Amino acid sequence: MGDLVIRSEGLGKRYRIGDLPSEYRTLRETIVDLAKAPYRMARRMIRGESAPRTQTIWALKDIDFEVKQGEVVGVIGRNGAGKSTLLKVLSRITEPSAGRVRVAGRVGSLLEVGTGFHPELTGRENIYLNGAILGMRHAEIEQRFDEIVAFSEIEKFIDTPVKHYSSGMFLRLAFAVAAHLTPEILLVDEVLAVGDDRFQKKCMGKMESVGKEGRTVLFVSHNMTAIHRLCPRVILLDEGRIRADGDTSEIIAEYLNADRSEADCKEWNNPETAPGDSTLKLKRVRLLDRNRRVRSSFDIREPVWVEVEYWAFDTAQRFLPILMVNTEDGICAFETAANHDPAYSGKTRKKGIYRSLCRIPGDFFNEGMYSIDVFIRVLVPRKYFVRESNLLSFRIQDSGSGLSVKGEYPKVWSGVVAPILPWETDVRPLSRTGGEE
C-alpha cells in the first residue's frame, strides 16, 4: 500500500461561454431565430447537448499533482484562477472535461457554509438535514449532536426556526455542523471568514486540529495568514494551470511579487472600466513621499503617504476608504480606515471626486516589501464598493544611518514593524553582599 490519496493527471475543465450578443440584430433575424428555435431545441435535447455556444474557456488545464495522506495543502491564486473549479471537480460536483483524478477515501467538501439550511426549520432540524447533505450518517450526527451545539454556542435557540437567527448565529451553527464532518479528505473553500474575531479564532483552531488528526485537507483561501498557519505546502494556480507547487513561504512570496512593477501608482481614467459599482468607482491610488512625489521605495525613517481618489456618484452612502497593509508573506500588518478623519466620520457623503490621504509615519515599518489592498465600503451594514488586492507595493530600506530602530546593528532586525519606542532605565547601587540595600 502506498500513501497517496489524490493523484490528478492532465486534469482539465472546459466551460462554454455565451456568444457576445451583437448589438445590431434585425427584427427579421430575431423572428427567424425564434422560428428555428423549437427545431434546434428538439435536436439538442435528443443529442443531450447543451445550448450552442461557440466560445469555450479552460478553467483548468493540464493539472497534475499528488497529495499524500495527512498532507494539508493550500490552494492559492487570483480570482478566476480555477481554485474553486478544482475543488468542485475533486468533490465530483462537476465532471472534468479532460484527464482523470483518482481519489482514495471519503471526500467531504465545504465550499460554502450553510448549504441546504432551510429557514423554516429549527436549528436542531437543520443540523440533521445539513449533516445528511454534507454526507454524514444519521448515527454520526446523533453521536456528535451535543458537540455541534456546544461549538455553535446557540444552545438556547436550538429549537427556534433559523430564520429568526442573527446572521452571526446562523453562520456559527452552519460552521459547527461543517466542522464536525469526518471524511478522510476534506476540501475547504474560504469558509473561515465567519463570525466575529473570537469565533474566527475558534474556527482556525478547529481547522488546525483537523490537520493534526492526520486527515488530508485541501484549503482554498485568499487569506495568506491563514494559509501560512495551516498549510506547509501550497499549490499556486494561475489561469487554470499550476504555476508553482511546494514550500508555502517561497510560493506566497512569488505569488505576491508576481506583479510588483510600477506599483507606486494605479490609475483609471475611464469610469466605465474602473473598479467599483454605479455608486462609487476608484479613480487613482498613489504612494507619495513628503514632497508629494510618486515613489515606491522609502527610507525606513520617512513617512509614506497613500492617496486614494474616487468618484462618488450617489449621495446616500457613508462609505469609508480602507487600506490593508500586508507583508511580503501576505500577513496583514495592519488595517486603517478614514473613520477617524473628523471631516469624515459618520457623515453621509455628497457626490463628487474624493481624495483621501493617509500618512503612515516614518520609523514604523521594518525593512522589506509591503503591499496595499484598497477597500471602499460601508461598515454597517456591511457593503463593499471596491475590493482590490495588491494595488500598490513599496520597499522600505534602511540606509544604515544609525538613526533607525536598530541603530548601528548591521543585520536584519526582526518584526513586521520597527518603531522607535521610549524606554526608561534606572539603576540602583549594589550592596556588598550582592543583594538590594
Partner 1 sequence: MIKQDSQQADFVGPVTDIAPSRGWVSLRLRELWEFRELLYFLTWRDIKVRYKQTVLGAAWAILQPLLTMVVFSLFFGDLAGIKPGSDIPYPIFSYAGLVPWTFFTYGLTQSSNSLVGNAQLIKKVFFPRLVVPIASVLSGVVDFALAFVVLIGMMLAYGIVPSVNLLWLPLFLLLAFITALGVGLWLSALNVEYRDIRFMVPFLSQFWMFSSPVAYPTTLIENHLLRTLYGLNPMVGVLDGFRWAILGGDTAAPGPMIGISAVVAVIILVSGTFYFRRMERNFADVV
Q: Please give the residue ranges that form the binding site for partner 1 (CB under 8 A).
A: 1-5, 7, 15, 41, 45, 48, 50-51, 69, 88-105, 107, 109, 111-112, 115-116, 118, 120-121, 125, 128-129, 132-135, 137-138
Looking at beta carbons only, is 3 or 267 nearer to partner 1?
3
User: What are the cell numbers at 334?
Assistant: 495592519
Nearest distance from C-beta of residue 146 to partner 1, angstroms? 20
Looking at beta carbons only, is 133 or 294 nearer to partner 1?
133
Looking at beta carbons only, is 88 or 286 nearer to partner 1?
88
In degrees and rounded to multiples of 5, residue 33 shows phi and psi of -60, -45
Contacts of residue 213, defined as CB under 8 A and 6 or more positions apart, other chains included, come to none
Nearest to 131 by CA among 180, 168, 172, 87: 180
Nearest distance from C-beta of residue 243 to partner 1, angstroms? 23
Nearest distance from C-beta of residue 353 to partner 1, angstroms? 40
Pairing between strand 368-378 and 383-397? Answer: antiparallel
HSE toward the beta carbon, residue 43, CA cutoff 13 A: 7
Looking at beta carbons only, is 82 or 275 nearer to partner 1?
82
Nearest distance from C-beta of residue 112 to partner 1, angstroms? 5
Burial grade of 313 (CB within 10 A; 0-12, 13-18, 19 or more): middle
Q: Where are the beta strands (DSSP E) in 398-428?
A: none
Contacts of residue 254, defined as CB under 8 A and 6 or more positions apart, other chains included, come to 236, 244
Looking at beta carbons only, is 133 or 193 nearer to partner 1?
133
CA triple 109-235-91, angle to 5 deg: 20
Looking at beta carbons only, is 180 or 377 nearer to partner 1?
180
Nearest distance from C-beta of residue 72 to partner 1, angstroms? 16
Burial grade of 378 (CB within 10 A; 0-12, 13-18, 19 or more): middle
Nearest distance from C-beta of residue 168 to partner 1, angstroms? 21
Contacts of residue 216, defined as CB under 8 A and 6 or more positions apart, other chains included, come to 5, 6, 67, 68, 69, 70, 71, 72, 105, 184, 185, 186
Looking at beta carbons only, is 112 or 259 nearer to partner 1?
112
Looking at beta carbons only, is 44 or 292 nearer to partner 1?
44
Looking at beta carbons only, is 4 or 244 nearer to partner 1?
4
Nearest distance from C-beta of residue 3 to partner 1, angstroms? 6
Nearest distance from C-beta of residue 56 to partner 1, angstroms? 12
Residue 365 region by backbone torsions, left for phi larger than 0, else alpha for psi between -120 and 50, else beta: beta
Q: Where are the alpha helices (H) located in 153-283, listed in sequence order?
A: 167-179, 197-212, 224-230, 248-257
Nearest distance from C-beta of residue 222 to partner 1, angstroms? 18
